[in-house]
Every structure is written in C-alpha cells, then in structure tokens.
Structure 1
C-alpha cells in the first residue's frame, strides 16, 4: 500500500507515520508499522485489476454510464451500468420462463432494500406491499440478511420504485455492490434487555458509517435532491467517519472510506449479543458482539472477522470460512475498529480476481495475528483480549413473546421468505389495521412488533385463516429451513432451491417420521448454486445446486451455527434423496448420544463411518424382498448381538458379513 500517493479524483490518503504508538488516545499519534510500506512501487507495471475495477474507477462515483442507460429506450442496461446498478441496490435479471421465442431475454430488475437489524416502519411496510403489486411480480421476498427483495420491476418503473422507497423512510443504498451490505442484528424487540437495544443501535450506526457518501444515489433517483427526513445520523458516527489520524480515509474525496474504486468485493457485517446466534455471526466478514456489565451498561464489543460463504464448485482455492476472534474494543472505539478492518480489506484485498477478493481469503492467507497487527495500525491502538462468552444458541423468535414493556411481539413463519397470495393480503390487513411495525429476521421470517395483548387472538386468527400457521403446527424441518430464490430469476442459479425445498422438506419429514425421528429439529438449507446465499455450509444438511435437480450434500454443521459443514456427497439427484439419507438417519437414531442432533452426530462419528454404515445398510423394505437364509440359533444370536452393539439392524449386519465374504458391494 502506497500512502500519500495521488488517487483517482485528485484525493490523497493520509501519509504513514513512524515511531511509538500510544494505546490510550484517539488523537493522531506516531505508531509502529508491523508490515513494510514501500516508498516506491515494487514494479514498473500497474497492478492487474479486474474489468469491474476499471468500471468503478471511471464511473464518477457510480454515476456514469448508469444515468445515461436508465433513460434510453432499451428494456435493459449495458454491462458497465449493470455493475454500477448493484451499488444502488438492484440487479438486472432475465426471467427465463417468460422469454418469448425469437425475442431473446425478458429483462427485469430486482430491488433490494437496506434494513439494519431488519427494522421496518409500518409506513414502509405498506409502501413495499403496494410496490410489489403495482410494479413487481406481486410478491415480497424476505432475504437471509433481514431485508426485502422486490422482483419483477421493469426498467421504465425503476425511478418510481426507488424514489417511493426513499421518500417513505427506506433506502436501497449499498444493498448490493462492492460496499458494506445490510448490517444484520438480533431481531427480538426486547425493551427490557439493554444489550438488544445497544446491538440494534450499533447495527444502524455501522450501516450509516459505511454508507456511500458521494451523493450519486440521490442524483440518479431523486434528481439530486437529498430527501430530508426526521432521521439524523448519530453525531459520533459523523465525527468518527471524518477522523483520519491513521490513514483510513481518502482526503478530500467524495467517498472518504471507499475512494473511487470502493472495496474489492462485498463486505458483510452482523451485530449481536452474547449467546444469541440468530444472525449467523461467524459467516460475516465482520462480526460485532455487544458486551455489557452486570447493570446492563454498555462496555464495549468483541470483534470477529474473516467469515464468508461463497465458493465455486471444484475450485479448492474458494471455500466457506468461519470468522476468527480478533479482540475486544471499548465502546468509544467501535467505529474506528470497523473502519480499520474495512480499510485493511480495501487496501490489501485482491482486485485482480473477484473469486479471491473477499476478506476471508486475506485473513486465511495472512493468519489472524498478521491481520490483527495491520488492522491495529489503521485503528491507532491495540485490541484488548477477547472477552469470554456463553455458549451460542440459535433463536428463531417464532410465536408469541413478551417485549418487556407490557406489549407483545409475534414471530410469523414465512416459507422460504416469499410473501404472496392470501398470506400477503392477511399480513397487510393486520399490519395496516393495527399500525404495527415489523422486523425481518435472518431466517426469512417476519416479526410483528408493538402488539397490544388485546389484539393477540384476533391477529392470530386472521393470519392462521390465511395459511400462516402458528409455530406449534410447523414441522421440525420446515421451522429451521431456508432457501435462496434460485431459478428462474437468479443469473447464477444452476438449479432450483426456493421452489424445490418445500417438497424436499415434505420428503424429509416423512422419512424422519417413518424412522421415529419426526419431532427432531433439523436445520436444512438449499441453494441453487455454490455462492451460498442461504448459508447452506452452516446447516446440518445443506443442499448446494450442482446441475439440473442435482446437488452436493453437505453435512455436519451445528444447530447453533458455530461449525462448518463439509461435502459428504457430490451430484446427488433429488430422486435419490431418501436412498442417500435414510441410512444416515437410521445410524443417527441407533448410535447417537442423548440429545445429540444430526449435525453433531455426523461431525462426531465422521464421514468415513457414515459411508461405511451406508454401504451395508438394508432398509426394512429391501430386507423383506431379500432371499431368506436359515441360521443356527447360536449364529443368529451372535449376529443379533453384533448388530445391536453396532447400532444396526440384523439384515444390515448380515449384509455386511456377506460383503466381507464375497468381497463385493451390497449383497442383494
């Protein structure tokens, strides 16, 4: 990194300093550099950059050629504009199933909102519901990052849709693109638990801190008028964004943190409280954990960094990764720590290969100690030791709960996050009638907040009548499952996810019930490609699209999302779902420890043991069709004892014995 050199747009970054770093002040002080900072470029040739990097640099901070493309007569925008459009919160998509013969692609746009901690006002909910009907495909999609996606918007309607969101206290700025994405936070609206209030406020502040600042967003969607609302940014956010004592900022730049080229790739942040892993904290580039004292006063924050899900099939240089503990900072230093981590990614992340550009690859390459050291240079002080934490748990917050102020909140299950049809109309009616604000959860569900106890029965009856079942009626598989949209809209999708998972869940539920495991919770996630938007690599069973109706099967994630799953099987056809999983479920039933979930069991016994067990497994149906063999009583007793000791049926043990004798596969 060359500090003090000219940057795009004439801005410069603050020069490096040398000397001894003071650890107790935010004032700009001298510091010790742990990595070499060259005084001249190490090569006479410019560093290789991807095509997207050039597009960003030439765009005048995300304006051109997007502004020109939006007003021409085409139903689409060109490649350069499409890359810029992401930063404004939208992707151009091809509705593959609405293509007309000989007329090419059917272009439309998906708009994604920015909702820190998933908080949505009553007014914005009603506006989004209206926009879905007037300009979208009639549905609202709740994302795995607590935001909305509105599908099916035509180019000619984009300005109306975007300006409507902005003027009704919403935003799409930074919902996509090479910037910080929507900041997640714990969804529970507890009023009597100060750590939850602090976490949601912190998520909102970090979203403001890292929001693009150049004004291009308002130039395009509001003709340059920055819409004024009653909302005012936290003054400390404003001051800490401007602080540049340690080289985090571009001086005199419209984008003080991002500069003209923004980040190498997207950057994801989640905030939570100790023990509550409803946000999949370890899957984020940056995780922030609120630390309070016994009296509930905010003290500071634990920091984890380097997580991420995206990968590419059969490319071992790409992989999912969990975030590592970095350290602890006091409450006054959280924004400086966030900026320091973002600046490290900005200046050291790969810009030549977008598949290697996420923060996780930098942390993995450097190791945590070097990464921490470089971040500390940008922060101007050292991290304190990571504070001890309780065991993590997953909370979905479905059903009725006390807010802590005399009011209730109600977590409503939404299958795969898609609100449509009669459930959409019923939610609209309830939310509008009672003036209820809502929260979108990281598990694609919705929470109705600020509910008076007297409204409870009427609300539940209205929603249940529309097919939004109370939590008690959900299957154990449905309750914890998630899927990405996949086909037909996502350009990266290889196969189905959202439309296939309900049927897959039905089959899994039937299989588990047949084996006496119907009430066991099971985290199942499905994606139509390996990018992992529904976080399948954290699931107890993850299905990752690998071809038409074909999936990788990942096993071994934990129910509290603290352990990565691993690839168990490649290219499994959906038709072979039961044949693949029945032996594993049977083994789990017979050999698990008390209360042990399927993911924990799979990780404990290991995949080799799972495969060996499956190789000799004989289902009850298969056993009934096999030839009968008579055995002496003592031999049968020995076989039965062996089967019982290994958690197998007698037919299974006999089949394995025959395999060993014949040296063959399944002896059927």
Structure 2
C-alpha cells in the first residue's frame, strides 16, 4: 500500500477483517499500513486471503526485502502528492519480491489480479538482502516521513513552475539499536546527490543492489545499510552505486524542512478538492466511550467518494472531498467527534508503537502508557504557556525504534518528569524565535549533539550527564585533581595506610558488640516489603541497638 493510500471500499474491508479475524480493532502504523491484532492461527490464512480480495496484500510486510514505501501526506498540495505517490508506486513495484511462495502458501497459488506467477528473483537472488530495507519520499517543507531515518530517501525538488523536477537522494538512515551492543546505533541518512524523476526507480534499485552485495551477512544486528555505508565509507559506497548506474548523480539541490508532524484539520488544494486530517491517537482505530472512531470511519467509508491517506505519524487524511459532499462528510466527522482537534500540540505531535501486549519484541509499555504520560507532561507545558507549541514525543517498547523515537524531541519515562519540568520551563523562557524544543535542549547543554550514528554513544545523556565527579577526575587527571583539593585544604593528605577487603555482602543474623548491645540483620529479598500493614514497599535497614532484655 505505497503512500498509505486506500479506497473507501478497502477501508471497509479492513474494518470487517478486524471484526471477523482479529480483536475488533486495527492500527495505522508508522509505515502507512494497517496492523491487525488478536488474529489466531486458524484465522491467519483466511485473513490474508480477505486482505488480497480487497486488492491489498501482506507481501513484503516483513523479511529481508524492501518494505512499504512511505510518502508525505501533504493535504494542501494534492497535485504534487499525486506525482510523488505515482513515483512511490513505481519504486514499490520495482523492488517487490517476485517469489511465488507467498501465493502458494496463502492464496493457493492464485493471484487475485495481475500478471501470471513468475518463479524468479531478479533483484534479490537466492539469499535476499542482509536485512530489511526501507524507502521514503518527502515533500519539503514537511518531513512527516522522517526521510533521514530510512535506508533510502527521495526529497522532492520542485521547479519554478511548481512541477516535480526530481529528487535529492539520501541513503543510510535507520533507527534500530540493540541494548548493550555499541556496534549498533541509530543513524541519519546522508545526501548522495540529485536524480530526475525518470532515474529515481533505477537509483533505488542500484542502492539496494550495493547493499545486497556488500551488507554484513554474518551479524544480523550489524547488517542494515547504515552499517554498510559506515564500513565502506560514503564516497566509496556512492561510487559503487554510480558504477552500477553508469552515470554520476547530479549535485544535491537546495531544500529545507520545518516540521515532521502532520497538518491537522481542513485544507483545500488548488483544484478545489478538500482534505481533512484526523487525529488518531497512536493510530488505534477502535470504539471507546466518547470516541467511536471505528464506527465513524466505517460510516464515512460508506459514502466517501475520494480516498483515505494513512500518515507516517499514525493519523488519517480523508482526501479528495468535493465541495458538494462537504456537508455530509463534516456532519459524520462531527457526529463521531473525529473533527475534535482541541488536543494540546504535545498530544497531536505524539506517536507510539504497539509494544505490550501484542509485540513479541516489546520490553516495556508504549501505546497503552504514552497517553497517560502525556497527561502529566501536558500539565507542565500548560503551566509554562506551551499548550499550542509542538514538542515531538515518541515512545517505543524496545530499542528497534518503530515509532522513530531517535528523531523525536523527547523519549520519556515517568522517572524523568522531574527533569522535564525545569527543562520545559527554561524552553518557554529562553528559546529563540522559531527554535524547536530538540534544538533548544542541545543549545542549553541538556544533551550533546549527535553528529553521526557512530558518535551516538559519545556523551550519552548530554553534557549534564558527564558532570559527575568521576568524569571531572578523568578529565583533569588524578594528580591535578588531588593537588586542587590539597590547595583548598592548606595541607597535604598523608600517605594511604594498608587495608584489605574480603567481602561486599551483609553479615546476617545476630551479632553482639563490645558494649553488650545486640543487632540482627534480616534478609529482605531485593529490599522490598509487601506487608499489607505498610502503605507502600519499604527498604528495610538492620535493626540495631537493642538491649539484652528485648
């Protein structure tokens, strides 16, 4: 589903599949696709067959292949969207696996529509890619797809007539990280150069082929294109791509992004068609008290004559509404409260992956907890007059980064609310005109700027996190540090005297000291007491100083 564009009848089918085969809800993902939950094994094949009957598919939804090509939603620039959308479809088709296995397993060797089966993989070969591969298309000044977080990016360049002239090409972005493994890191893509629209598909293919032939096939955690580029060097990698192309990419052309969030509300394009961007919190399509979004969108799908666009920030655009159909669509949006955009800018800018309880990779909560956390951070923002100022907050349940948290401005846990409160207050008082929160916290020294993926671990947590005494001693040198201490003391410390340790555990049980007092050290597993007499867990200390009579 390139660009997240689907027809009303396809939306209606997805709604029905969620009810018949899943848990009654479905989710808009950050790859502009649908995600179903609660599909039990005996429903899996029939669910996939129903998706294909809607002329959508699950081919290349996972695995070491090119994934769904995502595209900026840009509701106000519908003509340009149509051009980049058509380009994205061509790229998707060019990089699609040709294997017959998908149809053999799920569709009983039958294609619902299209060409006859072809049992050949001209691009992927016998062993496919070393790792997954992601492509995005962005239209400045909106970077709602986070173009630099993708393996390959195409930044649309418009000519003086407002027509699509071509693309600046980026390569080497990726979010995934493995805890404790410093060979892994998030990385932003590099700009390689400019290509025409006609050259774009070939450029995407050749970049993928260089990754196919040079990616790390021994260590999957170090197999993405970003690591290949860092290992080969950008110039060498670019040279290999251009060698396969048979020509050099042109120099990159000027461009500028000013946001990576969605443009909510109504927009009218140059052709007179109307588009409405709905806020769908974390992409979850469901009915809940006071928010029957699933039912509302189903009713809209029954009468809508345009299309739906899923955004890479997990929201939904009802597109191509004719003027004569506006009253009906507006009434339905209002009836089901889908037109409610009174949320804070913080909430409108938030995003979360599904995490618990449905993702097998999850280590923590994400989608279910983020709204609760935003409730808390919203209060801090409102106290400082920032209700309508966007701060991009994203949360994921594991370091793979499906919600693209490493290019957000805050990735938070409840423990750091105390840190956020003074930080947000300073931002409200000291920010420069037009300065985003993420830029401010770097300028203010809360975090260190990351200039490349490999430098991600340097000064982890910012300059402030490197302010502990241990870093001061390492920076000054032990002798210089000791000298400064003795200068303040006015005398020198004596030489250290001999000592030895033989354990770092507690001495349990009873002990009697020289004064005749008795002391008992209890074992409290992990320091927690769950005795119902206490209102909360307590850390227990040794009971000391008891007289003999006790």
TM bracket (short chain): 0.7 to 0.9
Q: Deviations over 1:323-358 (max 9, x none)?
A: 001112233322221111000110100111110010
Q: CA deviation at 1:461?
A: 4.0
TM-score by length of 2: 0.78
Q: Does 1:175 align with 2:93?
A: no
Distance 2:89 2:69 in 1: 7
Alignment CA distance shift 1:591-1:395 (3 Å):
closer
Residues 190 and 197, structure 1, Cα contact 8 Å, conserved in 2: no
Residues 311 and 530, structure 1, Cα contact 8 Å, conserved in 2: yes
Alignment CA distance shift 1:128-1:174 (3 Å):
same
1:89-488 paired onto structure 2 within 5 Å? 115-189=1-75, 193=79, 195-228=80-113, 254-421=120-287, 422-471=292-341, 473-488=342-357
Q: Show structure 1 runs of 5+ residues with no match.
A: 1-114, 234-251, 544-550, 552-573, 616-659, 661-668
Aligned match for 2:429, one of 578, 587, 590 = 590
Q: CA deviation at 1:275?
A: 2.5
Residues 280 and 316, structure 2, Cα contact 8 Å, conserved in 1: yes
Partner of 2:403: 534
Which structure has the greater CA radius of gyration? 2
Q: Deviations over 1:401-430 (max 9, x none)?
A: 113322211111100000001210011011
Distance 1:290 1:581 in 2: 36
Residues 10 and 54, structure 2, Cα contact 8 Å, conserved in 1: yes
Distance 1:407 1:517 in 2: 33
Q: CA deviation at 1:437?
A: 2.0
State the secondary structure of the residue aligned to 1:350.
coil
Q: CA deviation at 1:213?
A: 0.6
Residues 188 and 397, structure 1, Cα contact 8 Å, conserved in 2: yes
Q: Indicate the larger mover: 515-524 or 129-138.
A: 515-524
State the secondary structure of the residue aligned to 1:468.
coil
Distance 1:201 1:306 in 2: 24
Q: Does 1:507 align with 2:507?
A: no
Q: Show structure 2 runs of 5+ residues with no match.
A: 449-461, 468-487, 489-550
TM-score by length of 1: 0.64
Q: CA deviation at 1:527?
A: 0.5
State the secondary structure of the residue aligned to 1:311.
coil
Residues 165 and 171, structure 1, Cα contact 8 Å, conserved in 2: yes
Alignment CA distance shift 1:508-1:460 (3 Å):
farther
Q: Indicate the larger mover: 516-525 or 279-288.
A: 516-525
State the secondary structure of the residue aligned to 1:257.
coil
Distance 1:190 1:476 in 2: 20
Aligned match for 2:445, one of 593, 597, 606 = 606
State the secondary structure of the residue aligned to 1:295.
coil
Q: CA deviation at 1:267?
A: 0.1
Alignment CA distance shift 1:197-1:257 (3 Å):
same
Distance 2:266 2:88 in 1: 25
Q: CA deviation at 1:434?
A: 3.0
Q: Does 1:580 align with 2:419?
A: yes
Q: How many residues are paired up? A: 452
Alignment CA distance shift 1:443-1:590 (3 Å):
same
Distance 2:447 2:354 in 1: 33
Q: Deviations over 1:363-386 (max 9, x none)?
A: 112221011011112212221211
Alignment CA distance shift 1:261-1:403 (3 Å):
same
State the secondary structure of the residue aligned to 1:529.
coil
Distance 1:387 1:169 in 2: 38
Partner of 1:495: 364
